[in-house]
Structure 1
Amino acid sequence: MTPREISGGDPPTSSAALLRGRRVREALTGYGFVLPAVVLFALMGVYTVGYGLALSFARWNGFTPNWTWVGFGNYLDLLYRDPAHAPAVQSAAVHTLVVVIAVPLLTVAVGFPLAVALNRITFLRSAFRTVFFLPYVTTGIAVYYAWTYVLQPDGSLNYILKHLGLGTLSQPQGFLGNPTTALPTLIVVMSWGAIPVAMLLYLTGLQSIDSSIIDAARTDGAGNLRTATAIIWPLLRPITAAVVMLNMRDALQGFQIFLVMTFGGPGGHTNVLGLETYKLAFFSNLSPTLGLSSALGWMLFVAALLLAGINVRVLRRRT
């Protein structure tokens, strides 16, 4: 008899079979744990996105069993063809463009100096960080309502301005009721909630800069302003790109603050594309408009992709 026959089998082959069986069981176990999440994503993600894309090419009021296919008609109506919807969309696009430009600029203009100042503070640094970061963790519907009360005609802001001798700056109809001040006021409130994140990102970047670079610049005679603009700012350009991208995304697609504080008023002066999409879906008297709402949402999605691509391209070119 051969040694293999004496041993009663092929131990290497049996071990390999056992190993394969164990791997198969582990893989099946892993797939079993992942399957619920995949199903949920397929239902809530892929199906919803596909359904919304198909709806953007149809007319539907949300109740009838059948859709009316119109192809790119919804997109053309929103852009220029429909006199009932196109002017509102065009006006909202202008307001959205203003917000998309102003909010990132204001956030960077305030967040970067704050981060530089906090980076130099050694006494109560953690306390100051917490205070400046509070607007971000407290932003939400309740804070928007609080801001609404502050900005009313008899709100605290008008009260403070009058008692400081700055009554000419107060707004008798409220800062949100004046068409001239409504949109700038909302931009300030949006920036107020976005500045803490920008400040924290900048502060993280400042602490990662080699101190020898700063010391060399000061040895060469560079002052604080020159060091911040010629040394620190270029080194933090990737963080600036991230801050700008995040705020552009929020300004382009976010509409909660406009919904809660003004609902697009007064006279449509604070209406933005995100809010217009919401209005078309749930508050339009001209039915059916769900297809128009879906089409406008996809136009916003494409605009966000284009902005992201431009931001990445500019960042790669400068780094």
Structure 2
Amino acid sequence: MAGIVRRQRLREALTGYAFVLPAAALFGLMGAYTVGYGLLLSFARWNGFTRDWLWVGVDNYLDILYRDAALAPIVHDAARGTLLVMIGMPVLSVVVGLPIALALNRIRLLRTTLRTVFFLPYVTTGVAVFFAWSYVLAPAGSLNTVLGALGLGSLQQPQGFLGNPSTALPTLVAVMAWSSIPVAILLYLAALQAIDPNVIDAATVDGASNWRVTTSVLWPLLRPTTAAVVLLGLRDALQGFQIFLLMTGGGPGGTTNVLGLQAYKWAFFSDLRPTLGLASALGWVLFVVALLLAAVNLRVLRSRT
């Protein structure tokens, strides 16, 4: 009897693998081809049209990191912009997302409706949102109009918030955070609802205030969620160049250029020497940085749990 059951389970497993195998094989083949092709391209110079590649070894990596006087400064400036985004995105996601999640966790009236409202920025089409924000932030946009109506004319930007080099990058970070904060709220809300209410009740009975409960009880329990929010913010900061491409194109004066956008420019719009290899090398640098950040985040998370 046991042998029959085993054979039946084996048959069911093989049937399931047979259905999954074609899709998994296609995905693995295309993924391996794409990754391998990009890695090989990072060691070559190619304009995308000629038949043969010019193999240059690690020259592409050395040129973009420090050796080429025309390329390295561009990468360094883009790296500084990326670093600012990497700091601002996670900080805003935690600072704004956690209080909203705490408030939503405590209220009972219209909780589901409010969750939907707060999650709308994430599910809204990105391109449409970016163009809407461009209109809001324009010189004659609604933000300048509202500031003038409130008597805050000193905060208005006559050239627009995206046209002023000192406000362009912080403004884009705020727009990116606006799209990512809903995920942080959802993650924090799920984590808060998973906490045993008896823990909070015990702290309250001991005389802890709401602030004390939040800082000494809830915050330590939410550290894994915070690590996830930070990691998602870092991922968006490293990979999310679309907002920079659509809203500023890296301007004004390169103040909103980031590494992902620079790799895109080199791949498709460069008028310098063949730069597909440079773009691929920069992409792999970003990939390695993302892996290192994920490893550090995981190590910190394990050391605190």
Query: Aligning the two structures, in what range does the TM-score lie when normalised by the shorter sequence?
Result: over 0.9
Aligned length: 305
Residues 191-230 of structure 1 correspond to what in structure 2 (within 5 A)? Answer: 191-230=177-216
TM-score (norm 1): 0.91
CA positional deviation for 1:217: 1.3
Taking a change above 3 Å as real, the CA distance of residues 244 and 39 of structure 1, as seen in their structure-2 partners, is same
Structure 2: segments with no counterpart, 5+ residues: none
1:268 counterpart = 2:254: yes
Instruction: Measure, in 2, the Cα distance between the counterparts of 1:19 and 1:229.
Output: 54
Match of 2:82 in 1: 96
Match of 1:197, as an amino acid? V
Which of the residues 156, 160, 165 maps onto 2:151? 165
Q: Which runs of 5+ in 1 are unaligned?
A: 1-14
1:126 to 86, 101, 112: 112
Q: CA deviation at 1:212?
A: 1.4
Distance 1:35 1:203, change over 3 A: closer
CA drift of 1:37 comes to 1.4
Q: 2:230 aligns with which of 244, 253, 258?
A: 244
Question: Deviation of residue 29 (structure 1)?
Answer: 5.3
Q: Does 1:311 align with 2:297?
A: yes
Matched, 1:143 2:129: yes
Whether 1:64 aligns to 2:50 is yes
**Equivalent residue, structure 2, for 1:55:** 41
Indicate the RMSD between aligned Cα atoms, in angstroms. Answer: 2.1
Residue identity opposite 2:284 in structure 1: W
C-alpha separation between the residues in 2 aligned to 1:19 and 1:62? 57
Q: Percent identity?
A: 69
- Distance in 2 (alpha carbons) for counterparts of 1:192 and 1:250: 12
CA contact (8 A) 1:139 1:193 kept: no
Letter in 2 for 1:90: H
The 3 A distance-change label for structure 1 pair 22 and 191 is closer
CA apart distance, 1:43: 3.7
Give the counterpart letter for 2:158 in structure 1: P
Shift of the alpha carbon at 1:27?
7.2
TM-score by length of 2: 0.95
Distance 1:86 1:252 in 2: 18
1:124 is displaced (CA, Å) by 1.0
Task: Flag as ranges the 4+ runs of structure 1 deviating above 6 A.
Answer: 18-28
SS in 2 for 1:181: helix
Q: Which moved more, 1:185-194 or 1:123-132?
A: 123-132
The Cα offsets for residues 249-303 of structure 1, whole Å up to 9 and x where unpaired, read as 1111110111111110000000000000100100100130000000000000000
Distance in 2 of aligned mates of 1:127 and 1:38? 39
Q: Secondary structure at the match of 2:165?
A: coil
Task: Provide the residue aligned with 2:63 in structure 1.
Answer: 77
Q: 1:224 to 1:26 in 2, by over 3 A?
A: closer
Q: Would the alpha carbon gap of residues 90 and 21 (structure 1) be closer, same or farther in structure 2, given more than 3 Å must change?
A: same
Distance 1:61 1:128, change over 3 A: same
